[in-house]
Homo-oligomer: A and B are copies of this chain.
Amino acid sequence: MAKRAAEKTRLTRKDYEARVPRLREQLVQLQVRLKELPCPVLLVIAGVEGSGKGEVINTLHSWLDPRGVEVFAFHPPTEEERERPLMWRYWRSLPPRGRIGIYAGSWYTEVLREAMQPRAKKAGFHHALQRIEHFERTLAADGALIVKCWLHLSREAQGRRLRELEDDARTAWRVTPDDWESHRRYARLAALTATMQRATRRPGAPWHVIDATDERSRNLAVATTLLARFQEHQRRLRQATARPERRRPVTPLRPSGRRLLLDLPLDQKLSAAAYELKRDKWLGRLNAAVRRAAAKHRSIVFVFEGWDAAGKGGAIRRLTSAIDARDCRVIPVSKPTDEEKSHHYLWRFWRHVPRAGMVTIYDRSWYGRVLVERLEGFARDDEWRRAYTEINDFEAQLTERGIIVVKFWLHISKDEQLRRFRHREETEYKRHKINAEDWRNRRKWAAYEIAVGDMLALTQQPPAPWHLVPANDKRHARLQVLKLATRRIEAALGLR
């Protein structure tokens, strides 16, 4: 029965070859149009063993212009990859806008392989699927076209295919004992696959189950699926960009956050003598804490946000003086480079996630999305609104992997900022630190207050809490940063 069904869909070589030239033309046209569209294409080719994932990919690759395509196959994670969150290697591999990434198996391979292990936990599987679902949702929301094909074979067809491959001297090497093992456990994998597809199927990223019994039909089905999804996507993108956005006044999403800011007492002061005494004590303790973290292969991510001239640079210098410079990296975040601009806004931060035991200090960060990008209109309304969730998800991935995340908001009053701006303008070697943009931002103080408040309220989560630091007095602020950093690291290590 199964065999007959398969034969029914079999496509003759003649019919196949008659259809290929037109398809190839359409695919190359897709690539030409893609260059003008601000989106990347992710084509996932997953499926059961023997379904011909490699063949499909090679065929597609030969049909497309290979200069606009990159194929990714993920082998077991390397050392560098294992030291980062699960999704790090996938974020790194994302194609820039205008290009196509073809994923052999993709992020699904590893997850299914794990779940097939004898002692695999159900909860772990579901959690990993949730991560993937977030990942794809994040990319799709940013305009990426995600086309996921699952190449399906019945158990019988799979057995037949594996035997065929084995019987041919040219292909016998491709059949491994793992393939037969996977065949024996067909039912188990089918159940897991069903769960997986249910959990990761959504409007922006549906699953296309493709019958792989007949190779030619399979190839055509994948190509036509890609073309159809691209056309639909193109239409949707055009509609989205056609609708111009009305600039709205800045109103708080969560007034509680802004109140936190306004209520922060700013009148603490510290004498030079008291500061120096305490500073050395805390520098020593911080140094010990950082070394303990490294010994346990825990990395640390510091995030510094704050008003212009709030003293981020000075605080970072004091902090780094307690850390071995060889283990520590400061990432100054200003305008994205053009490579960064051609990716999702989180990509540039994923790039710098530290290896095990290392420290990364972000001087400004992904929070730019809900601050400057919100207020300057660099991000659309829906973009910055969903960024809170995306950011929480990003940080959750860091903390889950054991990375200690410490976030600071350095707070000064509007008057104090004015004093510091003037001081910078009057001081020869500080003049480079102040420009017209700073004055422009200052005029938007009230709007920033609202955006900062929303940020504090909406991204305040237990494993990656915000530390509000009163910074009108520089010495007080610097000491606070040292103290809070030390205590957070100690707490994360279970030391106090």
Contacts and interface: CB of A to CB of B under 8 A. Distances in A.
A54 interface: yes
Contact of A325 (B32, B67, B102, B325): B102
A65 B104 CA distance: 44
A112 interface: no
Contacts of A102: 325
A54 B432 contact: no
A221 interface: no
Contact of A54 (B29, B72, B324): B324
A58 B317 contact: no
A73 interface: yes
A111 interface: no
Contacts of A324: 54, 58
A73 B330 contact: no
Interface in A68-89: 68-73, 78-80
A330 B28 contact: no
Contact of A328 (B60, B71, B79, B329): B71
Nearest to A291: B173
Contacts of A329: 70-71
A320 B62 contact: yes
Nearest to A428: B29
A271 interface: no
Interface in A304-341: 313, 316-317, 320-321, 324-330, 332, 337-339
Contact of A330 (B69, B78, B325): B69
User: Which range holds the interface residue count of chain A?
Assistant: 35 or more
Given A57-B326, A58-B324, A71-B326, A316 B429 contact: no
A188 to B, nearest CB: 26
Contacts of A133: none
A65 B68 CA distance: 40
B32 A317 contact: no
Looking at chain A's contact residues, the main secondary structure is helix
Contact of A79 (B60, B79, B321, B339): B79
A361 B60 CA distance: 18
Contacts of A35: 432
A66 interface: yes
A320 B54 CA distance: 14
A37 to B, nearest CB: 14
Q: How many copies of this chain does one complex carry?
A: 2
A104 to B, nearest CB: 5
A61 B66 CA distance: 45
16 contacts: A29-B429, A54-B325, A54-B326, A58-B321, A58-B324, A60-B325, A61-B325, A65-B317, A66-B316, A66-B320, A70-B329, A71-B328, A73-B327, A337-B338, A337-B339, A338-B339
Residue from the set A60, A313, A317 with the largest chain B CB neighbour count within 10 Å? A317
Nearest to A432: B32
A25 interface: yes
Interface in A14-68: 25, 28-29, 32, 35, 54, 57-58, 60-62, 65-68
B326 A66 contact: no
A69 B102 CA distance: 37
Contact of A66 (B58, B104, B330): B330
Given A35-B432, A79-B79, 17 more contacts: A25-B429, A28-B429, A32-B429, A61-B325, A62-B317, A62-B320, A66-B317, A66-B320, A66-B361, A67-B313, A67-B330, A71-B328, A78-B79, A80-B80, A104-B326, A337-B338, A337-B339
Nearest to A317: B66
Nearest to A321: B62
B28 A67 contact: no
Interface string A226-239: 00000000000000
A72 B329 CA distance: 9
A363 interface: yes
Interface string A338-359: 1100000000000000000000
A127 B60 CA distance: 45
A324 to B, nearest CB: 6
A337 B339 CA distance: 7
A65 B32 contact: no
A316 to B, nearest CB: 6
Residue from the set A65, A321, A325 with the largest chain B CB neighbour count within 10 Å? A325
